[in-house]
Each structure stands twice: as structure tokens, then as C-alpha cells.
Amino acid sequence: MTISSNPTAPLVVVVGSTGKQGGSVIQALAESDKEYRIRGLTRDVSKPQAQRIATQGVEMMNVNLTADNADAARAAFKGANIAFIVTNFWEHLDKAREVAEGKMLVATAKAADVELLVWSGLESAAEVSQGKYGHVDHFDSKAEITTYARKSGVQLLIVQAGAYASNHLHSPQKEADGTYTLGLPVGPNTILPIIDAVHDYGLFVREGIECPKFGAGTEVLASAEDISVAEMLVQLSMITGKKVVYKRISDEEFMAATRAPHHVALELLEMWKYFEEFGYFGDKDTSSSRQHLNRTPHTWADFVREADWSSILV
């Protein structure tokens, strides 16, 4: 682990440092043979996760990155050469809030005159599907922030995160006969670009920063492999020894099973339909984003082998 305190090393400010993506970015830059100073942002430097990161030599800083707190954000970005930013839709489920916070972070990075802004964007499901799926807010909001960032003229590198392998840790349902099912409202051949986000998202950010093929004006699609949901379950069954089978369920069954408010259930339903018909990254090819990584990312099978399924597949 080499996080530098050398004042000539570039300063990387990491939003979401205690989370999956930001934490992974810190890990990957610490593993680099290049020197970086790192400032990790959190709302609570005293929490154990923040304290753990601080022991690695990361300067942890308290800041609440809401849209109305731009002055505090400016102070947190002061002196940054590189900024990594991510917004967290799932904490509030509010598209307008996510867009406002994302724009504030972009404007702050631009005002700090960073050499590179790394942004965790996503596609617009509404645009890619030409209006067919207009409720996938957490994709559309990130695309809106991307558009704003491009127009701002900031030196922009987009690193889109694929579908987290960990999303599926709690999905299998136990059936009366002792087998398990995973129910989704799409066909079994629906493809997901899978990433073990904690282990590997930062690996792709490091590639985007350090590899001359990427950098400002480019995009990295962070995923280890494109795999169908049916194949994921075949591998899950083989590795764990538990029978987990795919079950296509109706839209109504899926929405009820989410146990979420109607608008969130609809968002998740349309997200799956969008993946099935148009692809998670639209028709963009993921393979070129894997060609200059510093190590091999975890496949779905690797993730399954390392994950603790004991409370799920009991």
C-alpha cells in the first residue's frame, strides 16, 4: 500500500470514499506504482470505515455534498489534480436531487481547475430506448449529469459501472422442495455486464487515469464479463452445490416482489426490460475497456466463490 504524502504527487479527491466505488478507487490507486496523495470525503470521519481508510495514509475529510453546500464542497476539492465523483441515488430515490448534486460536484471540480474529472456515469435508458423506457431514473439522471459535464468543458473521463455482482447476494428464494429460484421479468438470456464493484471498479478507474489510450474525453465501461442471467445461475449452482434455477415471472409479480413504492418498482421493472432489449450499456462494446487493466478482474464465478452465501442458500 503506497499512498503518498509527497507534496509533488498528484492529489486525488475521492467522493464516496467509504462506499463501494470510492473505496475501490482508493484501493486501486494505493496499489499503483505511481504516487498519489488521496483525500477521501465522507459525512462522518469518525465512523470505523473512515478511520480504517485514514490508517492507510488517506486524508479523510468531513463534508456533506448536497447541492446547497457548494462552499463546503469547494473547500474539499481545493488543490485537487484529479477528482473522482459518484452520486448515490439509492439513498434518497430522488432523480432531481441526484442531478442537482451531480451538477454541483461537476461545477466544483471545474472551478477547482482539476486536470481530470472521473465521473461514474450511466447511459440514459430513455434515450437509448427512444422513449420506450422513461422511468429508469437512476440511469437517466446520471446521463443528464454527463451531458452537463461535457458542456462545462471540464476534462472528463467517464467510468460507467457495470451491474454489481453483489446485487444478487440476496435474490434467490427458497422453494418448498429445497431448491432455490431467481425470479425476473425478462428472458433467461438477458445479458449483464458483471462487476465485483468493491474488488474491481477502481481497477477500471486506474486504467482510465493511467493508460494513455484513455484519459480526458474518453469512456471506460467497467465490467469483467458479459454473462446471461441463466448462465450466472448455472455457475452459482455448480460452485455452491445448491440448485438455483431461473424463473421468468410476470411484470406484476416482479413489482410486488420488490416491496418498494410503486414508482421504484416501476423503475426496476423498466430497468430489467431495458437491459433485455437494449443492453445495459446500449450497444457499446465492453471488451476494449478490459485490455489495459493492471490485473484480471473477478468474474461472476470468482465473486460467487468468495462470497458468503451461508445465510442465503441455507
Q: Minimum CB separation from ligand NAP for residue 50, in Å?
A: 6
186 binds ligand NAP (CB under 6 A): no
Using CB under 6 A, which of the segments 62-70, 247-255, 281-289, 297-305 binds ligand NAP? 62-70
**Of 44, 115, 175, 277, the one binding ligand NAP by CB under 6 A:** 44
Q: Minimum CB separation from ligand NAP for residue 243, in Å?
A: 25
Q: Minimum CB separation from ligand NAP for residue 21, in Å?
A: 3
286 binds ligand NAP (CB under 6 A): no
Which residue, 88 or 155, is less far from ligand NAP as judged by CB? 88
CA-CA distance, 154 to 232, in Å (whole number)?
A: 39
CA-CA distance, 242 to 71, in Å (whole number)?
A: 53
159 binds ligand NAP (CB under 6 A): no
146 binds ligand NAP (CB under 6 A): no
**Of 16, 172, 193, 208, the one binding ligand NAP by CB under 6 A:** 16
Which residue, 99 or 244, is less far from ligand NAP as judged by CB? 99
**Of 34, 68, 91, 132, the one binding ligand NAP by CB under 6 A:** 91
Which residue, 86 or 156, is less far from ligand NAP as judged by CB? 86
Q: Minimum CB separation from ligand NAP for residue 115, in Å?
A: 23
108 binds ligand NAP (CB under 6 A): no
39 binds ligand NAP (CB under 6 A): no
DSSP symbols for the chain: ------TTSPEEEETTTTSHHHHHHHHHHHTSSS--EEEEEES-TTSHHHHHHHTTT-EEEE----GGGHHHHHHHHTT-SEEEE---GGGT--HHHHHHHHHHHHHHHHHTT-SEEEE-----HHHHTTTS----HHHHHHHHHHHHHHHHT--EEEEEE-EEGGGGGG--EE-TTS-EEEEESS-TT-EEEEE-HHHHHHHHHHHHHH-TTSSTTEEEEE-SEEEEHHHHHHHHHHHHSS-EEEEE--HHHHHHHHTS-HHHHHHHHHHHHHHHHH-TTTT---GGGGTT-SSPPP-HHHHHHHS--TTT--
163 binds ligand NAP (CB under 6 A): yes
Using CB under 6 A, which of the segments 60-68, 124-132, 172-180, 248-256 binds ligand NAP? 60-68
- The angle at the Cα of 57, spanning 56 to 60, to the nearest 5 degrees, equals 100
State the residue number with the nearest CB to ligand NAP.
19
Interface residues with ligand NAP (CB under 6 A) are 16-22, 41-44, 64-66, 86-91, 122, 138, 161, 163-164, 167
